[in-house]
Structure 1
Amino acid sequence: MYEKQMSAIAEGFRLVADSYEGHEQAVLDVIADCQSAMEEEREGAIGAWEQRELDYARVAVRDGFLRLALVAAEKALIVSQLPRDEYEYGLNYGRPQ
C-alpha cells in the first residue's frame, strides 16, 4: 500500500540530499500526494495522528527542514496502516484513554 508515495518520498530524499534550495514545492507536492492517497483509501477522512504528521511536515517545509518534512509524511503513511490498538497507543503516547 502507498508504494507510489513511498517511492516519491525516497526520490525526495535523493533530491534534497545535496541541497534544500529550490526543492520546497517538490516536497510540498509529495506531502499533498500522501494526504490525497490516504483520503482516497479512507473515503475522504484521515486519522488524527496522520493529520498531525502532515501538518508537522508542512511546518517543517516552511521552516526549511525538508528531510524532516519527508520523514513526517512517511510516518503519516505508516501509522495509517497500523492495527487499531497500536494506532491508539501511539496516538496517545502510551497513555490509556
Structure 2
Amino acid sequence: MAVSEAAANSLAHGGGKGTLRLWTAAGAGAGVVAEIHDGGLLADPLAGRRRPSLTSAHGGRGLWMIHQLCDLVEVRATEHGLTLRLHVATR
C-alpha cells in the first residue's frame, strides 16, 4: 500500500513519471526496500511526519500514511528531484 501511494504521488506531483526500484536487505536490517525517484520538489522537510487534518484541502495524507506503514522512510530532495526510500522489516 505504501509503495502504491508513493508511486501515485510520483505520477501526480513528480512530473508525471518516476523510477521505482525494489530490493531485499540482508543482515540485521533484513526486509524489503522500495525506492521511488522523480523530478518533484518537497517544500516542507517535515511533510508526512505530522498528522494532517482530515479536512485539509492541501492533501498530505498519503505521505503521512506511508510513514505509518513503513519502519523507516528516507526522503532526499535535491535539485535533481525527490527520492523516497521505504524500508519494511521482515518479521
TM-score, length basis structure 2? 0.31
Which of the pair is proportionally richer in helix? 1
TM-score, length basis structure 1? 0.30
